[in-house]
């Protein structure tokens, strides 16, 4: 029979001990510049030692916790792998390049180009793939348009951050539900609120990396309109239970409304940056795989029989 660890009262000491593994990883990665491959195992060992010495976790509890953690990792990786397979197929077909080129051709104004690519398009890519894909895809596009390499990388790294929680087909949000034991209906509202604020913060910060106050003055209409739409769509999808669509759906909505905002006279001024080449095939065709994904996920949520059919095969391992 599994001997469970007793739950101590919540005090500053117990809270500090529970947070210690995370703090250790942050100190090692941010303070000492360790990589995740080195800092992660140290944080893991810290958690095991604290659980055993201070929270009374015996060998059985530690073993079961590690097995559950392994299965949680496989569950999240299953989502990530499928998302990356979809991305690689679309990328090999040339659709990602077509999408980027099509966006860049909407306007010649550099601030608007930056917001479309580093803020909206990168969030869309984070929603469907994640794991460095936004920087790998968008930064070269910005450099090709004449942006400085440092600006291109920094703007994308900041601009897509708001899409991480619901990104990669909501793999992070799924992990959050499993780790906390809380249903998505409980986590989604507050996640939507905080991430809605983050939408604007990421957009402002991405623009600031380009020209500071000048970029804000030039980009405030786009920042306001696109920010409201992306935050609203993300919240709407999350609150509707469509978590897997919230990240890239919001980015896609930002691209759509951004294409309209780019037609405003303020964003139609010419500049010396080179125009991107003409796409190899229509933008609508390049977006078709992701539109199909939206249709499938939405249909599965609306029709219970389809949801049950798609989830007919399940692997469950009972734990004490």
pLDDT tens by residue, 301-315: 678 788 788 778 777
Residue 236 buriedness (CB in 10 A; 0-12 / 13-18 / 19+): middle
The model carries a pTM of: 0.70
What mean pLDDT do residues 102-111 have?
82
- What does pLDDT average to over the chain? 84
Kindly state the percentage of the chain with pLDDT values over 70: 92
Tell me which residue of 133, 156, 136, 97 sits closest to 276, measured CA to CA. Answer: 97
Per-residue pLDDT tens over the stretch 152-165:
889 998 999 999 88
Length of the chain equals 320
pLDDT the model gives residue 1: 46
What is the per-residue DSSP string for 78-104? HHHHHHHHHHHHHHHTTHHHHHHHHHH
What mean pLDDT do residues 104-122 have?
88
Q: Among the listed ranges 52-56, 199-203, 225-229, which one has the minimum average pLDDT value?
A: 52-56
Per-residue pLDDT tens over the stretch 189-201:
999 999 999 999 9
Distances (CA, A) of 207 to 157, 265, 302: 12, 19, 38
Per-residue pLDDT tens over the stretch 246-275:
888 899 899 999 989 998 888 876 554 555
Tell me which residue of 54, 45, 55, 38 sits closest to 21, measured CA to CA. Answer: 45
pLDDT the model gives residue 320: 66
Tell me which residue of 1, 123, 19 sits closest to 64, measured CA to CA. Answer: 1
Domain boundaries, the chain: 12-73, 83-310
């Amino acid at each position: 029979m599994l001997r469970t660890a007793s739950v101590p009262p919540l005090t500053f000491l117990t809270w500090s001990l529970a947070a210690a593994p995370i703090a250790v990883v942050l100190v090692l990665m941010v303070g000492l510049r360790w990589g995740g491959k080195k800092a992660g195992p140290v944080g893991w060992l810290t958690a095991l030692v604290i659980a055993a010495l201070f929270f009374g976790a015996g060998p059985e509890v530690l073993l079961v916790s590690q097995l559950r953690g392994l299965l949680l990792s496989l569950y999240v990786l299953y989502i990530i792998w499928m998302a990356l397979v979809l991305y690689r197929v679309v990328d090999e077909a040339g659709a990602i390049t077509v999408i980027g080129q099509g966006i860049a051709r909407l306007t010649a104004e550099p601030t608007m180009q930056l917001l479309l690519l580093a803020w909206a398009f990168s969030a869309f890519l984070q929603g469907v793939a994640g794991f460095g894909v936004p920087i790998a895809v968008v930064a070269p596009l910005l450099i090709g348009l004449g942006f400085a390499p440092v600006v291109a990388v920094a703007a994308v790294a900041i601009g897509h951050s708001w899409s991480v929680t619901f990104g990669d087909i909501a793999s992070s949000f799924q992990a959050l539900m499993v780790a906390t034991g809380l249903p998505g209906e409980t986590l989604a509202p507050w996640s939507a609120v905080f991430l809605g604020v983050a939408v604007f913060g990421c957009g402002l910060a991405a623009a600031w990396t380009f020209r500071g106050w000048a970029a804000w003055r030039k980009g405030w209409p786009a920042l306001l309109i696109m920010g409201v739409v992306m935050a609203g769509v993300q919240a709407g999808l999350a609150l509707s239970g469509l978590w897997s669509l919230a990240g890239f759906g919001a980015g896609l909505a930002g691209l759509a409304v951004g294409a309209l905002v780019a037609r405003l006279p303020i964003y139609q001024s010419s500049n010396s940056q080179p125009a991107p080449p003409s796409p190899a095939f229509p933008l609508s065709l390049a977006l078709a795989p992701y539109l199909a994904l939206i249709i499938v996920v939405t249909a599965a949520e609306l029709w219970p029989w389809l949801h049950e059919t798609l989830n007919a095969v399940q692997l469950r391992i009972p734990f004490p």
